[in-house]
Amino acid sequence: MSNLVSGQTGDWEVVIGMEVHAQVTSQAKLFSGSSTTFGAGPNENVSLVDAAMPGMLPVINEACVRQAVKTGLGLKADINLYSVFDRKNYFYADLPQGYQISQFKHPIVGEGVLTIELADGSAHDIGIERIHLEQDAGKSLHDQHPSKSYIDLNRSGVALMEIVSRPDLRSAEQAGAYIKKLRSILRYLGTCDGNMEEGSLRADVNVSVRRPGDELGTRTETKNLNSVRFIMQAIDYEVERQIEVIEAGGTIDQETRLFDTSTGATRQMRSKEDAHDYRYFPDPDLLPLQLTAAFVDEIKAELPELPDDIKTRMVSEYGLSSYDASVLTEERETASFYEEASKGRDRKLVANWMTSELFGALNKAGKTLANSPVSPDALGALVDLISDGTISGRIAKDVFAEMFETGSPAADIIEEKGLKQVSDSRAIEGLIEQVMAENQDKVDEYRSGKDKLFGFFVGQTMKLSGGQANPAMVNQLLKEKLK
Amino acid sequence: MSVDKDTVKKIARLARLDVPEERQEQIAGELRAILSWIEELGEVDTANVEPLASVTGHSLPLRADKVTDGNKVDDILANAPEQASGFFVVPKVVE
């Protein structure tokens, strides 16, 4: 599939790199003991360190270091046993230190790779350039007062991982697939909750265009995109804008842009003359971070099975389709629900029931797997009852609807409503005889060669049994009786 | 590195310091003198010397992931020139 975009004067290739800020899942902040909980009252989760009071010193949170290493390992990246914290200097009202503690020259994680899969089934390896640890800033509220900004430092000092990709992405679709896959891996690892609405995962997107085969064009950076849709919209807008500018004889300025969520457009940031000059230097308050190979190995041993591996296993061992395996592994919770429900059972049948009936019912009810009225065991038990012939697949749908409604186990519903499949040949023969007696004319027609009527008899017998007769036995017995 | 008046102007702005026009040339001279003094260190042969991060030999201390601080809004805001409902209040800064 070609990713080229055609302009007025020919084709253009789009080049995209992403910097993703992922909030590290931890109890306390990166360099202080205050809480990272979302939704606290203004400035409640703030210590004197976070507010940058004079004389306060940062002490690093070991769990945040582990999380960064774990993330690196999950992205098959090099872990740097030696890394350094630097000060990135700039002034903003929600940055009380006047600098952000970040990692510049020596990040904790080096090069890795993330494989994305597109709708057309093609897979692409996207290079990860680095991951570094840094502090988040506070939050400014601009809509509380006509001439003032309100500052809440609750986020100030929360640990972030900045995950920087290589400029390997070639379309908005690829960028969307990248952020979704990254989010999924982070959630499997448990290193970031991936909650984009709460700002736990946000992306800066670098976009440029060039003639196929040319050198890289000048890029713009659109900041702080907090949904997959916005990321894709911002890219589409930038691509179109840049091509228009260049084709009209203009040039692209390397600049930072903002995305307007209401119009879907990007615009230049006002403070352009303040072209950022961060004057990075090693933070004298912090010694270099030195890890041992044993520390890294210990984390490696704790790594959960990641979605790509699980998917491969589901396809090769369980015989699932690649599509079903993708759906079932997108979220860790879904994969473990499935594993639990299908263990020791017909794997494919459970997959079908999950992806069609269960997901359909959850969607309709506006629920998620986490609050599903049907537990993995309950779904598995239902599938067992289909597999052993207690109920037919058709009756099972009614039983499932009832389970979803009431939370009762399948066996109870079947017992209570008398839905058990009838596999007793004498009972089925009785039904068949009744159908034949009521339709003597059709029996005669069938016997005189109208084979097509067979389906009619099957239908009538099933109907008479309330759908409970074993369809295979009905077929077999009908054939004998109608001879 | 040569420091001229424009450099002084630039770093003063980055540091949000108000350096009056008439003092800029003088400060540039002072900075040049300081830098050339520091540059004397370049005469030392450090080809085979590992960079030294600390003279104490300590390594970076690590802290356990426990919430031990916070919930002191009054302390945090004690010196704020202006505050409202638990927020710092500053002149509007918006992009």
- Domain span holding position A349: 305-417
Cβ separation B76–A279 shorter than 8 A: no
Taking the C-alpha atoms of residue A257 and residue A96, their distance in angstroms, rounded to an integer, is 24
What pLDDT score does A155 carry?
A: 96
Q: Environment class of residue A324 by beta-carbon count within 10 Å: exposed (0-12), middle (13-18) or buried (19+)?
A: buried
Cβ separation B90–A270 shorter than 8 A: no
Q: What is the mean pLDDT of the segment spanning A206-216?
A: 94
Chain A partners of B55 at a C-beta cutoff of 8 Å? none
Cβ separation A149–B91 shorter than 8 A: yes
pLDDT class for A271, splitting at 50, 70, 90? low
The helix or strand, by DSSP H or E, that contains position A433, with its residue range, turns out to be: helix A425-438
**Is the pLDDT assigned to residue A388 strictly greater than 90?**
no
Q: Looking at A417, A439, A458, which one is the last position of a domain? A: A417
Q: What is the mean pLDDT of the segment spanning A246-271?
A: 89
Closest CA to A26 of A135, A136, A158, A134: A158
Would you say A432 and A477 are in contact if contact means Cβ atoms under 8 Å apart?
yes
Averaged pLDDT score across all residues of chain A:
92
Closest CA to A35 of B91, B55, B5, B72: B72
Taking the C-alpha atoms of residue A103 and residue A280, their distance in angstroms, rounded to an integer, is 9
Cβ separation A151–B89 shorter than 8 A: yes
Sort strands A139-141 and A265-268 into parallel, antiparallel or unpaired.
Answer: unpaired
Taking the C-alpha atoms of residue B57 and residue A18, their distance in angstroms, rounded to an integer, is 38
Q: Are residues A217 and A82 in the same domain?
A: yes
Q: Are residues A262 and A205 in the same domain?
A: yes
CA dihedral A22, A26, A29, A33 (to 10 degrees): 180
Would you say B87 and A49 are in contact if contact means Cβ atoms under 8 Å apart?
no
Q: Which of B66, B72, B82 sits opposite A27 (nearest CB)?
A: B66
Name A5's bridge partners: A12
Q: Looking at A265, A298, A331, which one is the last position of a domain? A: A298
pLDDT class for A323, splitting at 50, 70, 90? confident
pLDDT class for A2, splitting at 50, 70, 90? low
**Is the pLDDT assigned to residue A276 strictly greater than 80?**
no
**ipTM reported for the complex, 2 dp:** 0.90
Q: Looking at A266, A298, A330, which one is the last position of a domain? A: A298
A42 Cα to chain B: minimum distance (Å): 5
pLDDT tens profile B26-66:
999 999 999 999 999 999 999 998 877 778 778 899 999 99
Q: How many domains are contained in chain A?
A: 3
Closest CA to A153 of A97, A203, A191, A204: A97
Q: Environment class of residue A128 by beta-carbon count within 10 Å: exposed (0-12), middle (13-18) or buried (19+)?
A: buried
Cβ separation A62–B94 shorter than 8 A: no
Would you say A132 and A3 are in contact if contact means Cβ atoms under 8 Å apart?
no
Q: What is the mean pLDDT of the segment spanning A334-360?
A: 94
Burial B65-88 (b: 16+ CB within 10 A, else e): bebebbbbbeebbeeeeebeeebb
Taking the C-alpha atoms of residue A131 and residue A407, their distance in angstroms, rounded to an integer, is 45
Of residues A160 and A199, which shows the higher confidence score? Answer: A160
pLDDT tens profile A8-36:
889 999 999 999 999 999 999 999 999 99
Chain B partners of A287 at a C-beta cutoff of 8 Å? 53-54, 58-60
Q: What is the mean pLDDT of the segment spanning B55-78?
A: 93
Indicate the domain borders of chain B: 5-43
Q: Which of A26, A49, A289 sits opposite B65 (nearest CB)?
A: A26
Name A160's bridge partners: A23, A134
Would you say A192 and A22 are in contact if contact means Cβ atoms under 8 Å apart?
yes
What pLDDT score does A71 carry?
A: 98
Closest CA to A127 of A182, A84, A81, A79: A182
Would you say A236 and A172 are in contact if contact means Cβ atoms under 8 Å apart?
yes
Cβ separation B69–A151 shorter than 8 A: no
Q: For A402, what's the count of Cα atoms within 13 Å in the CB-facing half-sphere?
A: 17
Q: Are residues A290 and A319 in the same domain?
A: no
**Is the pLDDT assigned to residue A458 strictly greater than 50?**
yes
Cβ separation B59–A290 shorter than 8 A: yes
Closest CA to A306 of A70, A37, A15, A100: A70
pLDDT tens profile A117-130:
888 888 999 999 99
CB atoms near residue A57 (< 10 Å) = 9
The helix or strand, by DSSP H or E, that contains position A289, with its residue range, turns out to be: strand A289-290
Cβ separation A61–B65 shorter than 8 A: yes
Would you say A253 and A224 are in contact if contact means Cβ atoms under 8 Å apart?
no
pLDDT class for A1, splitting at 50, 70, 90? very low
What pLDDT score does A121 carry?
A: 83
Closest CA to A21 of A201, A287, A249: A201
Of residues A220 and A121, which shows the higher confidence score? Answer: A220
**Is the pLDDT assigned to residue A483 strictly greater than 60?**
yes
Sort strands A220-225 and A256-260 into parallel, antiparallel or unpaired.
Answer: parallel
Percent of chain B whose predicted confidence (pLDDT) is above 70: 98
Cβ separation B64–A60 shorter than 8 A: no
End-to-end CA distance of chain A: 58
B22 Cα to chain A: minimum distance (Å): 23
The helix or strand, by DSSP H or E, that contains position B84, with its residue range, turns out to be: strand B83-84
Q: Are residues A411 and A454 in the same domain?
A: no
Taking the C-alpha atoms of residue A289 and residue A80, their distance in angstroms, rounded to an integer, is 10
Q: Which of A45, A91, A149 sits opposite B70 (nearest CB)?
A: A45
Query: If you ran DSSP here, which 8-state letter would residue A353 be given?
Result: I
Q: Is A197 helix (H, G, I), strand (E, B) or coil?
A: coil
CATH of the domain at A471: 1.10.10.410
What pLDDT score does A346 carry?
A: 94
A227 Cα to chain B: minimum distance (Å): 20
Percentages of chain A per state (helix, strand, coil), in multiples of 5: 40, 20, 40
The helix or strand, by DSSP H or E, that contains position A230, with its residue range, turns out to be: helix A228-247
CA dihedral A307, A308, A309, A312 (to 10 degrees): 120
Q: Which of A60, A146, A150 sits opposite B62 (nearest CB)?
A: A60
What pLDDT score does A355 carry?
A: 93
What pLDDT score does A196 carry?
A: 93
Amino acid type, B59: S
Chain B partners of A286 at a C-beta cutoff of 8 Å? 60
**Residues shown for chain B:** 95
Q: What is the mean pLDDT of the segment spanning A244-261?
A: 93
Q: Are residues A160 and A262 in the same domain?
A: yes
Phi-psi region of A462 (alpha: psi -120 to 50; beta: other; left: phi over 0): alpha
CA separation (Å) from B67 to A46, A227, A259? 11, 30, 35
Closest CA to A116 of A244, A308, A286: A308
Which residue is it, tokens 């009202």? A93
Taking the C-alpha atoms of residue A307 and residue A181, their distance in angstroms, rounded to an integer, is 9
Cβ separation B92–A145 shorter than 8 A: yes
Rg of chain A on CA atoms, in Å: 30
What pLDDT score does A465 carry?
A: 84
